[in-house]
Structure 1
Amino acid sequence: MNKNLPDQTLGTLASAVPGATRVFHEFQLDFCCGGDKTLAEAVAQQGLDLDRIVAALAKLSEDPAVGIDWRQARPGELVAHIVARFHERHRVQLPELIRLARRVEHVHAGRPACPSGLAEALEGLQQELESHMMKEEQMLFPMLANGMNGPAQGPISVMRFEHEQHGNALANIQRLTNNITTPVNACNTWRALYGGLNAFKEDLMQHIHLENNVLFVNASIAAEGAHHG
């Protein structure tokens, strides 16, 4: 496996190697919206050390503590997991992050590192994400759970496009927060905000990855098989 790690896409590695997403977060590699790039391409684009990342992934793939391989799950199971683990969590995370961001922006407006515009950016993402999740829960997910893979291809392409918008929103949030880096002497509210932002970013990337690279890919393969069958 190690020899061909650089030739595999980030999405495939994130699905196949438990813990790979932690390595990708550490090196700022986008495995959700950028999941169709090979590891070698993504690393070259960012000027990172390929050998170091391959070594970290190889170590993971030897780890006997294997998590659930969602590629083998039934669509209904994966959909239920996505809604419970990510949709419900985002609905709790974002209001609190917005509240904390407003407080930090108000109290520390004079400091150079103050993330001005963060609360507004988070509110915009909250509106986009809520609309997106509702469309999935009410229309797309029931179609996939019921095996309607052919008719689902149109809505899937819309969801993929919206995922790219979420990725752009995350990039903007990282820009506003100096890559979510807590300043020296930051107050507890500021630390809580950036800690929560990091957790939210990891959750959202994992969420988009499971949809783009597992749920939607499986549905496309099934639709193709039915078409040829």
Structure 2
Amino acid sequence: MQESASLQTKEALDKTIGEFVAEDYRTATVFEKYGVDFCCGGQVTLSATCREKGLDPAAIQREIELVKSEPVTRSQNYAAWELSFLADYIVNTHHAYLNENTGQIAAYAHKIAEVHGAHHPEVIEIATIFDKIAADMVGHLREEEEVLFPMVKRVDAARKTGTPPEAKDRAAIKASLEKLGHEHEEIGDAIHAIRHLAKDYAIPDDVCNTFVVTYQKLKEFEDDLHKHVHLENNILFLKAATL
């Protein structure tokens, strides 16, 4: 029994953060608690993460098992979803969020940079970084919606019927995955830079309500981006790469 438990512990230590969250999204709450990146940095093992952050691996594993102790509903079991359904979910949920909120957040960021930049110069840099995120997102979402996702659906449909997928689709999927994965890293680095500049979105004492709302919206944007990129990097992209 003790040997079995030791083997389970070793397997968990060798598992990546992305694998934990892909298997059960509820474990993301544990990693978020300790500031562990589970989307863009999801390919790092639990043991390496604990060493880097100075965390107790046994304690982290206990917290993971605690959040997993309740039965998972299918609505949270993203790894079990069909590829086409997952792609549509990402578009209808996360792409829709970006389309509805990115412009407003950029406007707020520029407003507080104009009003508070003299005493809080970090908000000027935050506005500049967010402008680049917003600009980069336009082409990124178009690539996913018009190129990658339709190709993935075609190849997946062919696989289900036993029809060999077209070679051009397979080659294009590989190229698109590489491009989008690189862009995810750049966007992830940018949003981490914003969090650092904003001191984890702590609100200074001498600011207006718009400043408060802007930091709240930036935190909301980051939270949505983490789940969005996780669903793509750790689930959809990995499955698409095996088609």
What's the TM-score, normalizing by structure 2? 0.84
The yes-or-no answer on 1:34 pairing with 2:41 is yes
Per the alignment, do residues 221 and 199 of structure 1 end up closer, same or farther by CA in structure 2, a change over 3 Å counting? same
C-alpha separation between the residues in 2 aligned to 1:176 and 1:54? 31
Taking the aligned partners of 1:193 and 1:48, their CA distance within structure 2 comes to 32
Q: Which amino acid aligns with 1:98?
A: A
Q: 1:184 to 1:7 in 2, by over 3 A?
A: farther
Show the counterpart of 1:225: none
Please list every run of at least 4 consecutive aligned residues from structure 1 whose deviation after the TM superposition is greater than 6 angstroms.
Answer: none
Counterpart for residue 116 of structure 1: 124
The correspondence for 1:127, drawn from 102, 115, 135, is 135
More helix by share: 2
SS in 1 for 2:183: helix
SS at match of 1:36: coil
> Superposed, which structure 2 residues align to 1:136-155 within 5 Å?
136-147=144-155, 150-151=170-171, 152-155=173-176
Counterpart among 56, 65, 87 of residue 58 in structure 1: 65
Partner Cα separation in structure 1 for residue 60 and residue 121 of structure 2: 31
Deviation (angstroms), 1:185 = 4.9
- Give the partner amino acid of 2:189: N
Look up the match of 1:226.
Answer: none
Q: Which of 1 and 2 has greater Rg?
A: 2
Q: How far, CA to CA, are the matches of 2:205 and 2:46 in structure 1?
A: 34
For the 8 Å contact 2:123–2:198, the answer to whether it is kept is yes
Residue identity opposite 1:150 in structure 2: R
User: Do 1:118 and 1:173's aligned partners in 2 also have CA atoms closer than 8 Å?
Assistant: yes
Question: How do residues 83-94 of structure 1 correspond to structure 2 at under 5 angstroms?
Answer: 83-94=91-102
Contact 2:116 2:207 in 1 (8 A): no
> Any conservation in 2 of the 1:71–1:218 contact (CA below 8 Å)?
no
What amino acid is aligned across from residue 170 of structure 2 in structure 1? G
Distance across 1 between alignment mates of 2:195 and 2:97? 20
Answer with 31-40 or 63-72: which moved more.
63-72
Q: Over aligned residue pairs, what C-alpha RMSD do you find?
A: 2.0
The alpha carbon displacement at 1:125 in A equals 0.4
SS in 2 for 1:116: helix
* CA pair 54-186 structure 1, distance change in 2 beyond 3 A: farther
* 1:45-99 Cα shifts (integer Å, max 9, x gaps): 1223434432221111102253432222221101100001111101122111111
Task: Tell me, in whole angstroms, the C-alpha distance in 2 between the residues paired with 1:96 and 1:37.
Answer: 34
**What is the 5 A alignment of 1:72-91?**
72-91=80-99
Matched, 1:156 2:177: yes
Provide the C-alpha distance between the structure 1 equivalents of 2:80 and 2:39, rounded to a whole number of angstroms. Answer: 19
**Identity over aligned pairs, percent:** 26
184-193 or 206-215: which moved more?
Answer: 184-193
User: What is the rounded CA distance, in whole Å, between the counterparts of 2:122 and 2:174 in structure 1?
Assistant: 43
Cα deviation, 1:197-227, whole Å, max 9, x if unaligned, reads: 11111111111111111111112223xxxxx
Which residue of the partner structure matches residue 32 of structure 2? 25
Larger deviation, residues 102-111 vs 123-132 = 102-111
Distance in 2 between residues matched to 1:72 and 1:86, nearest whole Å? 19
Change (3 A) 1:5 1:181: farther
Shift of 1:114: 4.8
Letter in 2 for 1:63: E
Mean Cα displacement is larger for which, 100-109 or 78-87? 100-109
Aligned 1:162-181 pairs, distance under 5 A: 162-181=183-202
Q: Give TM-score scaled by structure 1 length.
A: 0.89
Once the two structures are overlaid, the 10-residue window that deviates more, 175-184 or 6-15, is: 175-184
Instruction: Name the counterpart of 1:196.
Output: 217
